Amino acid sequence: MRKINVFDTTLRDGEQSAGVNLNFQEKLEIAKQLERLGVDIIEAGFPASSQGDFASVQAIARTVKGSSITGLARSLERDIETTWEALKDSAEPRIHVFIATSPIHMQYKLKMTPEQVIENAVAAVKLAKKTFPQVQWSAEDASRSDLPFLAKIIQAVIDAGATVINLPDTVGYTTPYEIGQMFGYVSENVSNIDRAILSTHNHDDLGMAVANSLAAIQNGAGQVECTVNGIGERAGNASLEEIAVALNIRQDHYKADTGLVLKEIKRTSSLVSKLTGMVVPNNKAVVGANAFAHESGIHQDGVLKNKETYEIITPELVGVSSNRMVLGKHSGRHAFKEKLMELGFNGTEEQLQKTFVAFKDLADKKKDITEDDLFALMTEATVGSSVAHYELETLQVNYGTTNIPTATITMKLPTGETVQEAATGSGSVEAIYNTLERVIDEEVLLTNYRIQSTTAGRDSLAEVYVTVKYDGTESSGRGTAHDVLEASAKAYINAVNRTINRKQFNEQRTNPLNV
C-alpha cells in the first residue's frame, strides 16, 4: 500500500473562497482539528499577503506540532523571508514557493520569458533552502504548460533544492487522462525526479478535481492537495474527504492510502462549514446530510436485508453518528465536561464554564440536547467570543400582522457605555438591523442573510449567517441562539465586530518581521 501525503489547504486556498473570512481564533481551531484528523501538511496561509495571515500562520506553527505547517510564498525575497519568520518555530518548517509556467501566465501576467521564469524559480528555491529543510515548489497553471518546458524547470528546481514538486491544475481545465499523461511525462523526463515527491493540486471548475487527483495518484503523485468540503477559489478545490474515502474504500484499485483518522471527517467538515458559513449540500459525497439516507422502498428493503446491498461506506467510518440525545436538563457539570472532551473540546476552563452556562440555558428551552447542539455551543464558546466590541445585552421585538414591527435593543458599546435604541422595519429582522445601525451610527449594508437550524425539530437552535459591508470592507458574521431573531442580531453584530477587529489588528502590526 503506497502512503499518500495529505496536504490540506483549507486555510489558504479554501479561505480564498468568495465571502469567507476566518479570524485568527477560527483558523487556529480548524488547524487543531486538521491535526486531529491526521493531515500530514497544513498550509496555514500566505504570510506575506497580510499581517493577519502572518499572525495566524505563526500561531498555528507554534501550537500545532503533529502536522507539518507550511505557508505560501511568491518567488520574491520578501515573501520567502516573511514566511520564514512566520514558520521558524514550527516542528518541521516547510515553504511552498510558486511561479507560473504556462505560456499565457508567463507572457501576460508575469511579463517574463521562459528563461527568466527558470532563473527566478531557481533563485527562489535556493534562497528558501538556506533556511527551510523542506521546500515545495509549484508550477502554477502546470496543466496548461508546455511539457518539455515543465520538465526543464522541474529539473532545475530540484537541483536547487526543492523536495516536493507540485503540478496544479490551477484553472480546473484538465481531464483525468491528461493529468495522468502529465505526471507520466514528468516522471519519465526529469532525470532527478527520484529526489522529490510529486504533488497534485486540482480545482473543480469542470467538476473533475477529485477524479483528477486520483488519476495523478495513479500516475506517480505521492502527495495530494485538497480542502475540507472542497471549498476554495471559484468552484473550489478537490475535496479532502472524497479523496481520502475513495482511496480507503477502493484500496483494491488504488493500492494507496492516506492514513487519515477517517472518523474525524464528519466533525472536521461540520467545523469548517460552521466557521466559514459555507453550506455542505445535502447530496455532497461522504459528508452531505443525505449521504447515508436510503429513500426508495426498494433500497430500504435491500439495506434492511443486508446493508451492503446499497451502502458502500458506513456512516461510522467517517464519524457520522445518529446525532444521539446525549444530555438533558438534569445533567451535571461532570457528565457535561466528559461529553465535551469526547467531542474534541480543547478550550480553557473559562470557555468550558461559558459553554456549560449556555448548555443549561438551552436545556431549559429544549428537552433533548444532542451532539450537534453541544458542538454548536462549544464552537460559539471557543471561537465566537474572540471579537466582542459591541455586545448585545437585551433585545425586544414587537410584531403583529397588523402593526409595524419595532425592535428595542440595549447594547454595550466598545467604550464600555450601554445604550438603548429602537427602530421600525417592514419585518422583524429589518427592524432589528435598523436599530443596530442606529447604535453603530454608521451605514451597514447587508449583502447576504441565511438561516438554518442546528438539528431537526421545532426546538432546534437557530444559526444565522450574514455578510455585511461596513467601514469600507465586506465581512461575514455568524450567530447562534435558540431564537431566530436573537441569532439574526448576533450574526450582524459579529460581522461588525470582525471588521473592527481586523482593522485594529492591521493597525497594531505594521511590520510583520517585527512581530
The interface partner of residue 431, options being Zn ion, ligand KIV, none and the CB cut-off 5 to 8 Å by kind, is none
d(CA 215, CA 218): 5
Cβ 203 to ligand KIV shortest distance, Å: 6
Alpha-carbon separation of residue 57 from 174, 462, 500 (angstroms): 31, 32, 21
Considering only residues 439 through 458, tell me which ones interact with Zn ion, judged by CB under 5 A. none
- Residue 313 φ/ψ, nearest 5 degrees: -120, 135
User: Is 237 annotated as contributing to ligand binding?
Assistant: yes
The interface partner of residue 68, options being Zn ion, ligand KIV, none and the CB cut-off 5 to 8 Å by kind, is none
Measured over all CA atoms, what is the biggest interatomic distance in the chain, rounded to whole angstroms? 79
Alpha-carbon separation of residue 379 from 104, 320, 339, 373 (angstroms): 44, 18, 14, 10
List 378's β-bridge partners, or say none.
Answer: none
Helix (H) and strand (E) counts in the chain: 17, 18
CA atoms 378, 381, 382, 384: torsion sign: positive
Task: Select the residue interacting with ligand KIV from 94, 201, 266, 502 (CB under 6 A).
Answer: 201
- Contact stretch for Zn ion (CB under 5 A) within 9-17, 126-134, 369-377, 495-503: 9-17
d(CA 371, CA 348): 20
SS3 assignment, position 19: coil
Nearest to residue 390, comparing CAs of 311, 312, 320, 489?
489
Identify whether the C-beta of residue 192 lies closer than 8 Å to the C-beta of residue 159. Answer: yes
Cβ 141 to Zn ion shortest distance, Å: 10
Considering only residues 55 through 114, tell me which ones interact with ligand KIV, judged by CB under 6 A. 72, 98
User: Is 105 annotated as contributing to ligand binding?
Assistant: no
Minimum CB distance to Zn ion smaller for 199 or for 355 = 199
User: With binding defined as CB under 5 A, does residue 13 bind Zn ion?
Assistant: yes
Q: Residue 28 corresponds to which amino acid? A: L
Cβ 345 to ligand KIV shortest distance, Å: 33
Cβ 414 to ligand KIV shortest distance, Å: 37
The interface partner of residue 138, options being Zn ion, ligand KIV, none and the CB cut-off 5 to 8 Å by kind, is ligand KIV
Minimum CB distance to Zn ion smaller for 171 or for 468 = 171
Minimum CB distance to Zn ion smaller for 215 or for 411 = 215
The interface partner of residue 140, options being Zn ion, ligand KIV, none and the CB cut-off 5 to 8 Å by kind, is ligand KIV
Cβ 238 to Zn ion shortest distance, Å: 10
Cβ 201 to ligand KIV shortest distance, Å: 5
SS3 assignment, position 497: helix
> Residue of minimal CB distance from Zn ion?
13
User: Is 120 annotated as contributing to ligand binding?
Assistant: no
The interface partner of residue 366, options being Zn ion, ligand KIV, none and the CB cut-off 5 to 8 Å by kind, is none
Task: Select the residue interacting with ligand KIV from 4, 7, 8, 13 (CB under 6 A).
Answer: 13
Minimum CB distance to ligand KIV smaller for 138 or for 480 = 138
Minimum CB distance to Zn ion smaller for 110 or for 123 = 110
Task: Select the residue interacting with ligand KIV from 70, 101, 134, 170 (CB under 6 A).
Answer: 170
Cβ 70 to ligand KIV shortest distance, Å: 11
The interface partner of residue 220, options being Zn ion, ligand KIV, none and the CB cut-off 5 to 8 Å by kind, is none
Minimum CB distance to Zn ion smaller for 172 or for 384 = 172
User: With binding defined as CB under 6 A, does residue 168 bind ligand KIV?
Assistant: yes
Number of residues that bind ligand KIV (CB under 6 A): 10
Minimum CB distance to ligand KIV smaller for 214 or for 431 = 214
Q: Give the per-residue SS3 of 151-210.
A: HHHHHHHHHHCCCEEEEEECCCCCCHHHHHHHHHHHHHHCCCHHHCEEEEEEECCCCCHH
Burial class (CB in 10 A: 0-12, 13-18, 19+), 157: buried
User: With binding defined as CB under 5 A, does residue 204 bind Zn ion?
Assistant: no
User: Is 201 annotated as contributing to ligand binding?
Assistant: yes
Minimum CB distance to ligand KIV smaller for 33 or for 166 = 166
d(CA 351, CA 361): 15
Name the one residue in this structure whose C-alpha cell is 495523478. 216
Cβ 43 to ligand KIV shortest distance, Å: 9
Cβ 118 to ligand KIV shortest distance, Å: 18
d(CA 334, CA 324): 19
DSSP 330-381: T--HHHHHHHHHHTT----HHHHHHHHHHHHHHHHH-S-EEHHHHHHHHHHH
Of the chain, the end-to-end C-alpha distance in Å amounts to 44
Minimum CB distance to Zn ion smaller for 13 or for 26 = 13
Minimum CB distance to Zn ion smaller for 138 or for 499 = 138
| CA angle in degrees (0–180, nearest 5) for 475-19-271 | 95
d(CA 387, CA 149): 49
DSSP 278: P
Cβ 206 to ligand KIV shortest distance, Å: 14
Q: Which residues are annotated as a binding site?
A: 13, 201, 203, 237
Q: Which residues are annotated as a binding site for Mn(2+)?
A: 13, 201, 203, 237
**Positions that interact with Zn ion (CB under 5 A):** 13
**Positions that interact with ligand KIV (CB under 6 A):** 13, 72, 98, 138, 140, 166, 168, 170, 201, 203
